[in-house]
Amino acid sequence: MICFPNAKINLGLNVVRKRADGYHDIETIFYPIPIKDALEISAADEFSFTQSGIAIDGDAGNNLVVKAVDLLRRRCELPSFNIHLLKAIPFGAGLGGGSSDAAFTLTLLNDYFDLKLTNPELESLAAELGADCPFFIRNSPVFAEGVGNIFQPVDVSLAGYFMCLVKPDIFVSTPAAYSMITPKAAAASVKDIVKRPVAEWRDNLLNDFESGIVALYPRIGEIKQMLYDAGAVYASMSGSGSSVYGIFTEKTNLLASFSDDYVWEGTL
């Protein structure tokens, strides 16, 4: 059995306050996009995890796929199996690829072994793996609050638009990104701004991380401007970076413009 964990982008991101526990409350829209990994499960004599595609540094035991397996095994008795991850979503990009892999692992195992866990039960399990993991269980646009773990549905659609997403060879530390932020109440909620035409988002739908990150890594700002110069109606960094996406009304062909970067182009 195979499934295809998809990425997400942030539509706007406001850091509104620092919490007593040291974390930050945010407001953002999580929007699923069709950049996908692949997960395949098959019968085996003993459990194994294998991975191909984009190389992932670190011990395999720290991979969120393995952590999702371990979490579900503590709840349910599972036969042995092999699970393989083909990694295509770039990491360190603000696209939630690892969180998506974890959430889809839970749903894949639920389906493969007919565990009959409900979506609310899967979301509860996913929340133990990461704040945004439950989003990928429902996998539809949400307004996210808290530390990115409190969701409510939001009526926004980019169907029919095209997107060009560019991930430069830049790693942005999330703690470092937050260290450059002075939290403040948003002038307008992102869930209200996204109700406006996309053409009005440029000067209104902002990512609080962007100015500080661009000051450190000017290439990110250059990519955003190149997307606007190519005709994007809206462009933004996703999350704390380093990927930058542009939304277009017409199909793009910008691979040559970003030959040294990871580029994805497609229909939303």
Out of 37, 101, 132, 208, which one is annotated catalytic? Answer: 132
Out of 8, 67, 191, 224, which one is annotated catalytic? Answer: 8
Per the annotation, the verdict on 132 as an active-site residue is yes
Note the Cα 225 to chain centre separation in Å: 22
C-alpha–C-alpha distance, residues 162 and 199, integer Å? 14
Residue partners of 217: CB distance under 8 A and separation at least 6: 168, 170, 172, 241, 242
- Residue 96: closest CA among 136, 55, 56: 136
Active site residues: 8, 132
